[in-house]
Structure 1
Amino acid sequence: MEKDNLTVNELVLIGVGGILGAGFFLASGLAIHTAGPIVLLDYAVSAFIMSEVFCALTEMIVANPVDGSFRVYAEEALGDIGGFLSGWIYWTAGVFIMSSEVTASAIFTRFWFPRVPLWIFALLYSLMVLGINALGTKNFGTVESWFSTIKISALFIITIVGILTLMGLFGRTKEIGLHNYFSHGGIAPNGIKGFFGALLMSLIPFGGVEVTAMTASKTKKPQKYVPIARKYIVLFLTVLYLLSIGVLLGVIPWYKVSTKVSPFIKLLSFTKIPYIDSIMNFVILTAALTTMNGAMYGVSQVMYSLGKGRFAPTFLSKLTKRDVPIYALLFSSIGLLIAVILSYILPKDVYEYITSATGFVQFFNWIIILYTFIRYRPMLKKKNPSYFECQKSGFPIRPWLTIVLISIVLLSTLIVPKQAIGLLGGVLLLCIILVLFFIANKFDLFDKW
């Protein structure tokens, strides 16, 4: 099977599927409660950050489309430590993201089957995602495309329902209206602290652009289609997120938005549609499974790249006839199994701290990607001066500005107690990965593998 087998439409849907997860449907309520209506600015800043990271990735991918993408670029631009850190940081964060999504999927499924133990659903979904990824890139792309279509359509319908509710089609109450943006304490009822406190929660729904980067090298004509896909992905997500949150704030006062269940269920309740809870639960379940599926693809590709690049045992770089890194996939599945077991053994709050720490680690990797881009771009231009330039102006100011913004987002977690603990956990994970690098380097394990 040839590698370049994904169409531009599949790449767009994979990109949206890897980014639009259950986190947006569930965590948006927490972000709104923290910031109030000014949360729209939080999401706008997050959209800009995601766009700039994606722009940097796109430019490097088009100039040098290779398996492993950003990890390979980090190694070439920053040396062994860059390749090792970028790969293992992404893999660690991805495994914990998968475990949180599969745990969430099991909880969503128990909505219909409350007597079935959670671990049964978690096991079934893990096997399902493992099977999908074992089928190869083309089949992975097809499944992701279908899942993504469901999520995009659902969010689009939710937004339309919200607009019609604002117009009074489903009945009008005094609480519904544009005055919700200015009443109840103003645009920023919790002040600047609320704005900064919601930054991480608004950036998390934009995480996952790395999966698109890794599938892009398997796209037909990357130079032509990858830039097109990037524009559509950024446009879709930015418009959908800002419009849906904006409509939600107009229908429901910010302080009444639920932080326990998806706030969009409350919005849809105005339509009096039968079984709306089950419909919304299915949409969120689909979102969680798609994110988990994309994360599994991403971590197995990175583990394959690590094995190929001397930073993990070489047997992990073995491919099947379907172009699947089967041992890297199985190794990542073991990591998923351990993480799922931890999710059931550890107290709920402790596990929440671990998953929030992976959010910190994931965005720290964005800093590595941007710094790699700053160092790597001059090297690429020497090799191929005519290659596609995403950042035709503003280099290197734009990537440096984005690095500063991501740093502000990460430091803003110190304002929120639970997020602050996640920050400390993320720093600890980074230190562990750094120590492992120096140990492996000291004992020449890179050459022995």
Structure 2
Amino acid sequence: MTVSASGRPADAPDRSHVPDGPGHHRPAHPAPAGRALKQRHLTLMALGGAVGTGLFLGCAQTIHSAGPAAVFSYALAGLLVILVMRMLGEMVVTRPMSGSFADYARLALGDWAGFTIGWLYWYAFVAIVAIEAIAGGRIVHDWLPAVPDWAVSVLLLTAMAVVNLASAGSFGSVEFWLAIVKIGAILGFLALGAAYVCGFWPGDGSPHLSHFVDHGGLLPNGPGAALAATVVVIFAFGGTEIVTIAAAESPDPGTAVTRATRQVFWRVLLFFLGSIFLVVAIVPWDTLVGPESPYAVAMTRMGIPFAGTVMTAVILAALLSVLNSTLYASSRMLTTLCRHGEAPRSLAHTNRRGTPTRAILLGTVMGYASIGAQVLQPDRTFGFLLDSTGAVLIFLYITIAVSQLRLRARAERTEPHRLTFRMWGYPYLTWLTIAALLAILLSMALLPGTRPQLLMSLISLGTVLTAYAARRCARHLRTPHPRQPSR
């Protein structure tokens, strides 16, 4: 299939302007971009994209609060992510667009939705760039106490900025190898952990599955704790959607997204559920109270030497992967906003390789500023970055689901032949997903630990909506209006 620069078949009409959609949409003309990302890049990105510090470190809090039922918390959150990715896959295959979910929100709900979700996503991912750089500095500082953590943070961010500035191909290659490290670590843990739990490990120390019934049983803190843990767990899957942005820079975006959405199921099943199941089987849930990775604790219990050092290296690789991919995704989202005139068009400037250099540099500078703020205000900056973006992922998923509802209905009326990749159980599963995501927001409001994240994220949302309203008002005032004839 021949694909044009906009990511759609060359013989297909331009669907970026939909006359029956809400609002008045300008045709989206993507900036020239190469096709530097190969299928192998996208395959590894789809498999390892969301495997990061949220899994390797964040699961400790989930397991400690929910007990063995943390496996069900990950299963429920993973199911929601699978459904959301299926919806996104349907929209991408039906209408391939380089702006991904921001453009679909624009088509389905109007310019305000594209503006809002685009800027929220950009802000959230620029914040994550800073968060990961700061966290990386702390990890290396623990290894090398003589080296200031801020200097390491700057070095890591600069390295990933150079990778992204080189070309999309260099981003894809680095992400490919970092994903191999993460996937290799998880697969190795699955193999060794399964051998240990099944009794094939040297010695007599295997607990088999006794930890699921001992120490208070499967639900030691009740079913409510398992449901509450889902609120925290779903954020560990953040970044899954990046592959749909990257697919626009591949030779066949539709095929790439179709494969990626299908691979999400196996990633959730093996990497998340499989590894969490083994962690709970190997380590008593109520002993995971320290800052150490549960995976390192499990490997130490199995008698594997240098387990802590090995897992720290894997966590650093995962952190670099997140830093690399979020810097990439934020720059592409900013160029999408530029194309619609919702950000300074100068930021969409690309070099001869199609790389949006200014958008990447802006994200990098914002990261430097956050690192500097962390040095000056170490007790406030990191928490502010986490809280102000805490619920943005849920806002994004709800927007994707609502967009799929409207665009699917529109496609069934006007172009049913394009629906070659469909969301399951439409519209019932889509509505059920929306209800579950709204329930997560409600839970965030009720739980003291997540309430600040919801409130700060709502402030971020309100700020973006206010900016959109001010922009519309300013444009209205600048637009000349014909004078009414005097009587």
Same fold (TM over 0.5): yes
Q: Which moved more, 1:18-27 or 1:299-308?
A: 18-27
> How far is the alpha carbon of 1:393 from its aligned partner?
4.3
Answering whether residue 217 of structure 2 is matched by residue 186 of structure 1, we say yes
Shift of 1:184: 1.5
User: Given the two structures, how large is their TM-score scaled by the length of structure 2?
Assistant: 0.87
Q: What residue in structure 2 maps to residue 292 of structure 1?
A: 323
Residue 366 to residue 322, structure 1, CA distance change in 2 (3 Å): same
Quick one: which amino acid aligns to residue 32 of structure 1?
I
Looking at structure 2, the residues matched to 259 and 93 of structure 1 have their Cα atoms a distance apart, in angstroms, of 28
- State the TM-score, normalizing by the size of structure 1: 0.94
Query: Which residue of structure 1 lines up, in the alignment, with residue 204 of structure 2?
Result: 172
Alignment of 1:48-447 (within 5 A): 48-168=79-199, 169-173=201-205, 176-348=207-379, 351-352=382-383, 354-381=385-412, 384-391=415-422, 393-444=424-475
Alignment RMSD (CA, Å): 2.2
CA distance in 2, matches of 1:225, 1:300: 20
| Equivalent pair of 1:14/1:144 in contact (CA under 8 Å) | yes
Rounded Cα–Cα distance in structure 1 between residues aligned with 2:98 and 2:476:
23
Q: CA deviation at 1:320?
A: 1.3
Cα gap change, 1:7/1:131 in structure 2, threshold over 3 Å: closer, same or farther?
Answer: same
Counterpart CA distance in 2 for 1:447 and 1:189 is 63
Is it true that 1:43 corresponds to 2:68 in the alignment? no
Distance 1:342 1:407 in 2: 33
- Structure 1 residues 357 and 101 mapped into 2: Cα distance closer, same or farther (>3 Å)? same
- Greater shift after overlay, 410-419 or 233-242? 410-419
Asked if the contact 1:164–1:170 (Cα under 8 Å) also holds between the matched residues in 2, the reply is no
Quickly say closer, same or farther: Cα 1:37–1:137, change in 2 above 3 A. Answer: same
Distance 1:50 1:30 in 2: 20
Quick one: distance in 2 between partners of 1:193 and 1:404? 18
Structure 1 residues 318 and 353, CA gap change in structure 2 (3 angstroms): closer
Q: State the secondary structure of the residue aligned to 1:226.
A: helix
Change (3 A) 1:14 1:56: same
| Partner Cα distance (1:326, 1:186) in 2 | 54
Rounded Cα–Cα distance in structure 2 between residues aligned with 1:65 and 1:383: 16
* CA displacement at 1:236 relative to structure 2: 2.1
SS at match of 2:352: coil
**Structure 1, unaligned runs of 5 or more:** none
1:15 and 2:46 are equivalent in the alignment: yes
Matches of 2:277 and 2:179, distance apart in 1:
22
Q: Deviation per CA, 1:290-309, whole angstroms, max 9, x where unpaired? A: 01111111100000000111
**Displacement after TM superposition at 1:419 (Å):** 1.5
Structure label with greater radius of gyration: 2
Unaligned stretches of 5+ in structure 2? 1-31, 480-487
Q: 1:265 to 1:347 in 2, by over 3 A?
A: same
Deviation at 1:2, TM superposition (A): 6.5
For residues 294 and 10 of structure 1, the distance between their equivalents in structure 2, rounded to whole angstroms, comes to 12
- Which moves more between the two structures, 380-389 or 233-242? 380-389
Q: Answer yes or no: is the 8 Å Cα contact 1:200–1:409 preserved in 2.
A: yes
Q: Deviations over 1:31-56 (max 9, x none)?
A: 01111111111111111111111111
Deviations 1:4-24, CA, capped at 9 Å, x for gaps? 343332112123343111111
Seq. identity, %: 28
Structure 2 distance, partners of 1:382, 1:340, is 51
Local SS of the residue matching 2:217: coil
Q: Distance in 1 between matches of 2:415 and 2:326?
A: 32
| DSSP-derived class of the 1:386 partner | helix
Cα distance in 1 for residues equivalent to 2:69 and 2:305 = 33
Q: Choose between structure 1 and 2: higher helix proportion.
A: 1
- More RCO (CA 8 Å, sep 6+): 1
Distance in structure 2 (CA, Å) of the matches to 1:438 and 1:155: 46
SS in 2 for 1:359: coil
Q: Contact (CA 8 Å) 1:193, 1:415: kept in 2 or not?
A: no
Paired AA for residue 182 in structure 1 = V
